[in-house]
């Protein structure tokens, strides 16, 4: 059963064995696995419930429905934009379907440095396989690689850089290319059409438009969850109160610490909200003489891993990812205004975007302000600014190698490079926050896992060190930057946690 | 400072108004392309003028008119294939987006628009409002905000730009000029569009 906020006409008082908060890659998996195990599950999702018939492929209509703060969530100093989903299915509804397993060297690092137990790559394989089967993960077929991705691949092959065709969670893709705005064909195997309906079919009661405001605890245990029912304009209409024996918080790496901090729980370590990693990214765009129509076809079907080697160095490196934007998003990224802005926009159909996604050691924080809203701080450290510069130069090289006649570097004062230009100009301009747009779609690590209760929020099974019946199951539990798109890692860790809860139920309640 | 910091006396000077808004709250509203207090309360806006925002619900008519001129300078419609801003529903689209922000943020937007309109005497020593400047002067004024040493002004410029490109490039009529095919799915479809 999935209930929308508009269908709720009074305060909700619910009882359940398990209350799951959030329906993204973590929460949806836990809800399905525990409901199928016979547990009575209530799920609270802050965003709305929208299905394929609601996805109009229009930016102005979809951004408010599918993205937190209409896609404009920012750090406090306004230098880094953070895109997150806010709907049933979470960010999996708008993501571009990259499916990477957690890299083995990262799992080894987590075991070595954070003491995680029973979490080697081999031990994670059953969870990877279950999740991948459910999401129908497979490699993109050659004919599905679109022109934009072909251009990046061509540039890499000319320069001898290593890249790979991606694995995605698509089935029967029409290649319309509107993935960022929700799939109106139900081809994207997001949580919305996989785990969420499976959870509902198994008896989970799922309530949309119900943001959680507080979790109440006493004597070392969570007692209840409190929230509100909001209307389409996010105005509170009714109260929600859930009493549950186990609570699984899966609201994402910004909202999960927000809820914990507002509730003043699970933070004896002082680590809630700290260690924020973002996978920050900087985008360059090549402009070609030929038509590209980068928004057509399967996006992000290729990636460049030449500049990251986690086996040699699990703490550093970056991936280059082809990317595109629809007109509004593109226009907001193009520097300047008026005629100069138009001179770039008129080449919209000839652009190839390529971004540098940093495997970051830089760390920020999520705090809450006086109104209880998240206040996000993050700064790219000097070393990673240098890596960004290096990566931006590689992007320009790749784009020029595949025929770009110009490359746009979106500094506040626009830089348009020609093939003959010295890329040293990027060295001189640098990659400073505020001077060039930096974006994130992968906030993580704000409630990190670890076996030392003084340095982590949850243990190896995502169970709170402080509250025995509280689990956290989203990207916030990653002990460090993942170094790869996080969808499968998040879902697999949630799968593993759900099985732990299922198998240890008697000890938990 | 909470939202109480946005309560500004009618007779305050522009500078006082800016100071009354904490840097933090100012930054927060610009994050969602937003601004401050209601224009009607400030009584600073020019007389209502014809506007393309016929069904505006957050923006007052005068705010809509100021914003129309801002959008006209932010985007370029001089190319034959690009429609004039006033021939589109750009302002109505912006208004719909603003409707989905919280009330304090909505009111902040109005304040930003008003501040921008009445800024030339403060920022450029010109005793005129933005909407009465020549096109060249308006561009110079925008450039002054875009490149200001004051971070909050640069952020405010980006907020106005984001609103402008949202309103303009969301219009079907602009897509031919940039060779964008538009959605695959035909209209009419069910459109989830929150109402007041």
* Mean pLDDT of the A30-42 span: 98
Compute the nearest-CA separation of B130 from chain A (Å): 16
Q: Do B162 and A72 touch (CB under 8 A)?
A: yes
Ordered domains of chain A (ranges, CATH): 2-136+177-276+442-503 (3.50.50.60), 142-170+281-359+381-432 (3.30.410)
Q: Which residues of B touch A53 (CB under 8 A)?
A: 189-190
- Asked if A22 and A45 count as a contact pair (C-beta separation under 8 A), the reply is yes
Residue to test with chain B: of A48, A54, A72, most B Cβ within 10 A? A72
Q: How far is B117 from chain A (nearest CA, A)?
A: 18
Interchain proximity B175–A345, CB inside 8 Å: no
- What is the domain count for chain B? 1
| CA distance to partner chain B, nearest, from residue A428 (Å) | 19
* Beta partners for residue A416, in sequence order: A408
Phi, psi of A282 (to 5 degrees): -125, 135
User: What single-letter DSSP state applies at residue A364?
Assistant: B
Chain A neighbours among B 17-76 (CB < 8 Å)? Answer: 24, 27-28, 30-33, 73-76
Question: pLDDT at position B123, please?
Answer: 83
Q: pLDDT tens across A268-293, in order?
A: 999 999 999 999 999 999 999 999 99
Is residue B162 one of the residues assigned to a domain? yes
Option in A58, A72, A178 nearest B170 (CB): A58
**pTM exceeds 0.80 for this model:** yes
Range of the domain at B157: 12-45+58-171
The mean per-residue pLDDT over the stretch A190-199 comes to 98
In terms of Cα–Cα distance, which of B114, B94, B138, B143 is closest to B18?
Answer: B114
- CB atoms B174 and A327 under 8 Å: yes
Look at residue A180 in the predicted model and tell me its pLDDT: 96
Minimum distance, in Å, between the CA of residue B128 and any CA atom of chain A: 22
Using the predicted structure, report yes or no on whether residue B100 has a pLDDT greater than 60: yes
Which H or E run contains B61? Answer: helix B61-74
Compute CA A201 distance to the chain's CA centroid, rounded to the nearest angstrom: 26
* Nearest residue to A192 via CA among A32, A304, A345, A368: A32
- What pLDDT score was predicted for residue A16? 98
Query: Which of B29, B35, B75, B175 best tests the A interface by mutation, with the highest count of A CBs <10 A?
Result: B75
Q: Specify if B150 maps to a domain.
A: yes
Within its chain, how far is the Cα of B149 from the centroid? 21
Question: CB A349 to CB B2 under 8 A?
Answer: no
pLDDT at A215 over 80: yes
Of A251, A246, A250, A196, nearest to A39 by C-alpha is A246
Instruction: Indicate whether A42 pLDDT > 90.
Output: yes
Rounded Cα gap, residues A375 and A322, in angstroms? 30
Whether the Cβ atoms of residue A365 and residue A342 lie closer than 8 Å to each other = no
* ipTM of the complex model: 0.93
- Alpha-carbon Rg for chain B, nearest whole angstrom, is 17
A341/B183 CB distance under 8 A: no
Confirm whether B36 is domain-assigned: yes
Q: Are A324 and A285 in contact (CB under 8 A)?
A: no
Query: In this prediction, what percent of chain B has a pLDDT beyond 70?
Result: 67
Shortest alpha-carbon distance between residue B165 and chain A (Å): 6
Instruction: For residues B94-102, give the mean pLDDT.
Output: 91
Q: How far apart are CA B68 and CA B107, in angstroms?
A: 18
Q: DSSP character for B131? A: G
Q: Which of A57, A233, A338 sits opposite B184 (nearest CB)?
A: A57
Whether the CB-CB separation of A69 and B32 falls below 8 Å is answered with: yes
> Could you report the per-residue pLDDT of A305-358, keeping only the tens digit for each?
999 999 999 999 999 999 999 999 999 999 999 999 999 999 999 999 999 999
Residue B24 and residue A76: Cβ atoms within 8 Å? yes
pLDDT at B56: 61
């Amino acid at each position: 059963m999935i209930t929308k906020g508009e269908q709720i006409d009074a305060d909700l008082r619910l009882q359940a064995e398990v209350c799951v908060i959030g329906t993204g890659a973590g929460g949806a998996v836990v809800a399905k696995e525990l409901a199928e195990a016979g547990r009575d599950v209530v799920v609270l999702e802050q965003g709305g419930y929208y299905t394929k018939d609601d996805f109009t492929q229009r930016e102005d209509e979809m951004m408010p429905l599918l993205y937190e703060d209409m896609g404009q969530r920012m750090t406090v100093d306004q230098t880094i934009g953070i895109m997150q989903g806010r709907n049933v299915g979470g960010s999996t509804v708008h993501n571009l379907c990259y499916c990477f397993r957690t890299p083995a060297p990262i799992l080894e690092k987590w075991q070595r440095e954070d003491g995680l137990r029973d979490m080697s790559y081999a031990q994670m394989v059953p969870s990877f396989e279950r999740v991948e089967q459910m999401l129908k993960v497979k490699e993109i077929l050659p004919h599905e690689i679109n022109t934009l991705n072909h251009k990046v691949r061509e540039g890499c092959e000319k320069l001898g850089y290593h890249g790979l065709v991606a694995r995605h969670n698509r089935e029967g893709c029409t290649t319309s290319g509107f993935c960022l705005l929700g799939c109106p064909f139900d081809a994207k195997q997001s949580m919305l059409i996989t785990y969420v309906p499976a959870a509902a079919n198994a008896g989970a009661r799922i309530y949309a438009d119900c943001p959680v405001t507080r979790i109440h605890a006493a004597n070392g245990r969570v007692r209840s969850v409190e929230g509100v029912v909001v209307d389409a304009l996010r105005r509170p209409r009714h109260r929600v109160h859930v009493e549950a024996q186990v609570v699984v918080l899966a609201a994402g790496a910004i909202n999960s610490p927000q809820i914990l901090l507002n509730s003043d729980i699970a933070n004896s370590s002082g680590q809630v909200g700290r260690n924020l990693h973002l996978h920050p990214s900087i985008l360059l765009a090549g402009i070609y003489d030929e038509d590209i129509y980068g928004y057509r076809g399967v996006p992000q079907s290729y990636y460049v891993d030449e500049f990251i080697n986690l086996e040699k160095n699990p703490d550093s490196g970056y991936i280059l990812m082809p990317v595109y934007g629809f007109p509004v998003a593109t226009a907001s990224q193009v520097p300047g205004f008026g005629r100069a802005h138009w001179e770039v926009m008129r080449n919209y159909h000839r652009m190839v975007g390529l971004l540098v996604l940093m495997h970051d050691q830089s760390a920020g924080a999520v705090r809450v302000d006086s109104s209880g809203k998240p206040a996000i701080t993050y700064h790219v450290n000097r070393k990673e600014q240098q890596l960004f510069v290096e990566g931006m130069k590689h992007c320009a090289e790749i784009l020029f190698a595949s025929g770009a006649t110009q490359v746009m570097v979106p500094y506040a004062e626009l830089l348009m490079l020609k093939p003959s230009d010295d890329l040293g100009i990027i060295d001189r301009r640098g990659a400073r926050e505020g001077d060039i747009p930096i974006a994130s779609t992968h906030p993580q690590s704000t409630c990190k896992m670890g076996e030392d209760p003084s340095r982590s929020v949850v243990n190896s099974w995502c169970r709170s060190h402080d509250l025995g019946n509280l689990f956290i199951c989203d990207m916030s539990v990653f002990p460090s930057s993942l170094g790869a798109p996080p969808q499968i890692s998040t879902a697999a860790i949630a799968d593993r946690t759900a099985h732990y809860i299922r198998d240890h139920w008697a000890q938990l309640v | 400072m909470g939202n109480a910091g946005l309560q500004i006396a009618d007779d305050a000077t522009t500078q006082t108004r800016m100071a009354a808004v904490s840097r933090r709250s100012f930054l927060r509203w610009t994050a969602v392309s937003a601004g401050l207090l209601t224009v009607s309360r400030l009584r600073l806006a020019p007389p209502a003028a014809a506007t393309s925002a016929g069904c505006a619900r957050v923006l007052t008519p005068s705010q809509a008119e100021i914003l129309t001129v801002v959008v006209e300078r932010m985007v370029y419609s001089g190319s034959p294939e690009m429609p004039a801003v006033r021939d589109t529903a750009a302002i109505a689209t912006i208004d719909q987006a603003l409707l989905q922000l919280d009330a304090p943020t909505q009111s902040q937007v109005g304040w930003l628009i008003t501040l921008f309109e009445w800024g030339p005497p403060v920022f450029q020593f010109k005793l005129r409002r933005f909407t009465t400047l020549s096109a060249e002067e308006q561009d110079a004024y925008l450039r002054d905000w875009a490149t200001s040493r004051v971070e909050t002004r640069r952020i405010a410029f980006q907020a106005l730009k984001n609103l402008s490109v949202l309103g303009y490039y969301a219009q079907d009529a602009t897509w031919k000029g940039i060779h964008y095919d538009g959605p695959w799915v035909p209209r009419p479809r069910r459109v989830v569009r929150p109402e007041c």
